[in-house]
Homo-oligomer: A and B are copies of this chain.
Amino acid sequence: MKERLCIIGGVEAGLTAAAQARRNDPGIEILVFEKTDYISYGLCGLPYFISGAVGDIKDLFLYSPSYFKENRNINVLTGHRVRRIDCAQRKLDVEDQGSPGQVKEFFYDKLIIATGARAIRPSGWPGADLKNIFTLRDLSSAVEMKETIREEKPENAVIVGSGLIGLAMAESFRSLGLRTAVLEKEEQILPLFSRRTSERVREELKNRGVEVLTGARVDGFTGTERVEKVSVNGKSLPADIVLLSIGVVPETDLASSAGIELEPLTRAVKVNRKMAVSVPRIWAAGDCVHSTSVITGKPVYMPLAAITDKQAQIAANNATGKSSLYRGTVGTLIEKVFGLQVARTGLTEKQLLEERIDYVTREVRSSSRARYYPGSEPIGLTLFLETGSKKILGAEMTGKEGVDKRIDVLGLAILQGLRNRDLYDLDMAYTPAYAPSRDILWLASLK
């Protein structure tokens, strides 16, 4: 009998793991269970599909189930929801969505859990179940939102939450001509960033006609049939379509009911550096597990594509007998907010405060290209340095261009434990069209 690897989830981590397992082991049988009808797409592309910037839904798909079958001998079962993991018998109960209630059993030798995350949908808000109130975590919801906008031609969009997906969707709504408001319960938008960066982004949103309300207490939604108004801070805001974007939580129900341990801080599936869970023969990867900060060594929850991909490969390596360790995350992320690039890496200011790490802040300003070169734009950098050692602990950048280009250099500097001073020795690629002769990262080394 061939050994069998089962994988739960076929969006990002699941299929990366499947492909990697096949690369390592041509003989193993691989079965992927995906509860929806769609596989192998990037969640981050959904706002651009809704706006029409990505015109064809097919462009979002990397591979089809038949591609996996024919080219990699991987069986992907869409519309198959795993109902239960039986660790003792190494068995999955799987329901074919086409025949509800009918459960098939699949035995596994190895199992990878890649169940992802789900959007938080607060239960306490009256009217939260009205039509046209969406979350955006899978392709089905994106298709539904796009259809709704096309057919009902809503005029007013309200986004609850100002994280990455919320702000990406603000741009999509505006580009489709909707009046758009963003409601954030905290005192600033983009809670993962410093106040200063947040204000810069707020300014950009304002310039693009997005109404932003911070300190926003949502009381509920009203409407007949579909949502018509959001009640916020005691006032009423028109809303023909609502996106709830107040965060995601790891999808751990299957794992925890099978007796698999969760990590207490993040409430994600607990994994070691091999991406193995607390039960033998099972690994997990992607948005359902935690990551580890390479700086503090502590568990962090960062549901990001770049992390997912890596963890999935490492899980598959270990599942197929190729030892491989996950080092952790630097914490790099970037967002396009209309014409503004907003990026960060390392620890957030909030993490620094929580970890009680002494730090100093350094501000640097420069330009994306030589000042005299057409198209040059101002860019700003905030560095968080360890007091004393001046090791770089975190960084934030904003600008209309050139931020994407520089944030990864800082990410690598942090991964290597460098001080800002160490960037002095790096000669950076200079030509007037792409950088000033004194790059902002070099100026940062002098601070």
Q: Which residues of A contact B (CB under 8 A)?
A: 12, 42, 44-45, 48, 53-54, 59-60, 164, 168, 294, 304-307, 309-310, 327-336, 341, 343, 345, 370-374, 404-409, 411-413, 415-416, 424-435, 437-439, 441-442
Contacts and interface: CB of A to CB of B under 8 A. Distances in A.
18 contacts: A12-B437, A42-B370, A44-B431, A48-B432, A53-B374, A54-B372, A294-B425, A304-B427, A309-B437, A331-B427, A332-B427, A334-B431, A404-B434, A408-B429, A408-B441, A409-B409, A411-B428, A411-B429
A438 B309 contact: yes
Contacts of A441: 408
A429 B309 CA distance: 13
Nearest to A56: B372
Contacts of A427: 304, 306-307, 310, 329-332, 411
B404 A435 contact: yes
A417 B294 CA distance: 19
A434 B45 contact: no
A373 B407 contact: no
A374 B168 CA distance: 15
B53 A373 contact: yes
Contacts of A433: 48, 336
Given A53-B374, A406-B408, A408-B429, A424 B336 contact: no
Nearest to A335: B431
A413 B412 contact: yes
A441 to B, nearest CB: 8
Given A168-B431, A309-B437, A343-B429, 11 more contacts: A44-B437, A45-B373, A48-B372, A48-B432, A54-B372, A306-B430, A330-B427, A332-B427, A404-B405, A404-B434, A405-B406
A65 B404 CA distance: 37
A189 B330 CA distance: 40
A40 B173 CA distance: 48
A426 B332 CA distance: 9
A304 B48 contact: no
Contacts of A431: 44, 164, 168, 333-336
Contact of A426 (B334, B405, B412, B430): B412
Contact of A60 (B332, B372, B415): B372
Nearest to A404: B434
A409 B409 CA distance: 5
A437 B168 CA distance: 17
Contacts of A430: 44, 304-306, 333-334
A336 B304 contact: no
A424 B437 CA distance: 30
A221 to B, nearest CB: 30
A432 B305 CA distance: 10
Nearest to A374: B53
A372 B59 contact: yes
Contacts of A428: 306, 332, 408, 411
A273 B329 CA distance: 36
Nearest to A428: B408
